[in-house]
Amino acid sequence: MKFLRTTTEEKHTGGGGVSKYDNIGDPVVLSHQLLNTKKSFRYKKYTHVRISEVHSFCPREYAIGYLTDTAQENYVDFPLQQQFDLGSAIHYWVQNGHSKVFKDVICGTWKCLGCRNKRKNKDGSIYFGTKPKTNCETCGAFPEATVYDEFMFRIDKPYRIVGKMDEILFKDGVYRIGDFKSYWQRPKSGFPIGKDVVQLSSYMYFYSLLPDELKFPVNVDTTCGYLHYISKKFSFTESILTYPIRPNKKMLEPIIRNVGAFTNAANIRKLPPPLSVCLRSEFKKGRAKDCYMADKCKEYYYNGITKC
Ligand code: SF4
Ligand SMILES: [Zn+2]
């Protein structure tokens, strides 16, 4: 009598149940041998400022990249990529009702994985609201096949900016924008973290500038949003920490100025000046060391080139 398992093993291992990896005892080496731990390729164009970068981007780097049609190409080691991916997995878990904590609170548009269509209302318009509990109206797939469709906007005017929102939270009759951040340890300086506040404030500000046809079909209150810090470590009292964020003019001013500087440079093809921190180090240290456009920036600066 032959069991299926025996037959399958013989077929795949050549019959001996021996693998060339069996003598590897080091768990790190074995992971590299068995799994795909290659670096991940990243490609980034400089056409629009990403809201996730507004707190730190250089308008000159973006302008040079955009005007010379140069994209950033680099590789990310797998340990770092793993952190990014785990962060995305937490977002997915929260947005799609796997965490009851956020279930029926998150609103937005939704798409069906069965047919790739957006979920719709009876009249054929795009559905907006909490996760649909009915089968897909286009292909009949179960509601479990429906996933959150993160809201994305990309505009050229009045600013060249692109953003993807984590959440619209509906409570007490009010729709507000939310952002998720996963964390391991509470930072010494405490929550909320400055750059997260700037980012969420920017989402609220730039969303308010969108033309009506790009906005949600409901009125979103952009005077207040929520930052949710989700703990990856067990914590009885601090599993999720939510902070209300009210954008203020002083905080947004430098962001608007920098995004405006890039947008203007893209329109009139004139480069913004280098950052003083890069000039001071003669493009050798700090920001310039990590900048993808540093060589071009330096060359243009020392050759007096201001237009591209
Ligand atoms: S080297 Fe400095 S100033 Fe030049 S583009 Fe890069 S970050 Fe901006
Ligand atoms: Zn479908």
Helix (H) or strand (E) holding 289, with range, is: helix 286-290
Q: Does residue 275 line the site of ligand 1, with CB under 6 A? A: yes
Going by pLDDT thresholds of 50, 70 and 90, the confidence category of residue 14 is low
Whether 12 has a pLDDT exceeding 80, the answer reads: no
> Among candidates 246, 102, 214, which has minimal Cα distance to 168?
102
Gyration radius (Cα) of the chain, Å: 24
pLDDT attached to residue 164: 96
Q: Characterise 270 by phi-psi region: left (phi > 0), alpha (psi -120 to 50), beta (else).
A: beta
Average pLDDT of the residues in 288-305? 96
* DSSP conformation class of 131: P
Cβ neighbours for 176, distance < 8 A, ≥ 6 positions apart: 168, 169, 220, 221, 224, 225, 226
Going by pLDDT thresholds of 50, 70 and 90, the confidence category of residue 286 is confident
Q: Would you list the domain boundaries of the chain? A: 47-257, 274-308
Distance, CA 121 to ligand 2 centroid (Å)? 13
Average pLDDT of the residues in 238-255? 96
pLDDT attached to residue 13: 52
Ligand positioned closest to the Cα atom of 285: 1
Average pLDDT of the residues in 119-129? 97
- List the CATH code of the domain at 47-257: 3.90.320
Q: What is the pLDDT of residues 147-187, one digit of tens each?
A: 999 999 999 999 999 999 999 999 999 999 999 999 999 99
Q: What is the pLDDT of residues 215-243, one digit of tens each?
A: 999 999 999 999 999 999 999 999 999 99
- The least confident of 11-25, 128-142, 151-165 is 11-25
- The least confident of 11-15, 79-83, 235-239 is 11-15
> Among candidates 20, 60, 9, 15, which has minimal Cα distance to 291?
60
Q: What is the pLDDT of residues 27-69, one digit of tens each?
A: 999 999 999 999 999 999 999 999 999 999 999 999 999 999 9
Mean pLDDT of the chain: 93
* Whether this model's pTM surpasses 0.85: yes
Average pLDDT of the residues in 118-123? 97
Q: Does residue 294 line the site of ligand 1, with CB under 6 A? A: yes
Q: What is the DSSP string of 204-229?
A: HHHHHTS-GGGS-SS-EEEEEEEEEE
**Mutate which of 56, 57, 61 to test ligand 1's pocket (most atoms within 8 Å of Cβ)?**
61
Distance, CA 92 to ligand 2 centroid (Å)? 19
Whether 295 has a pLDDT exceeding 80, the answer reads: yes
pLDDT attached to residue 15: 61
Whether 98 has a pLDDT exceeding 90, the answer reads: no
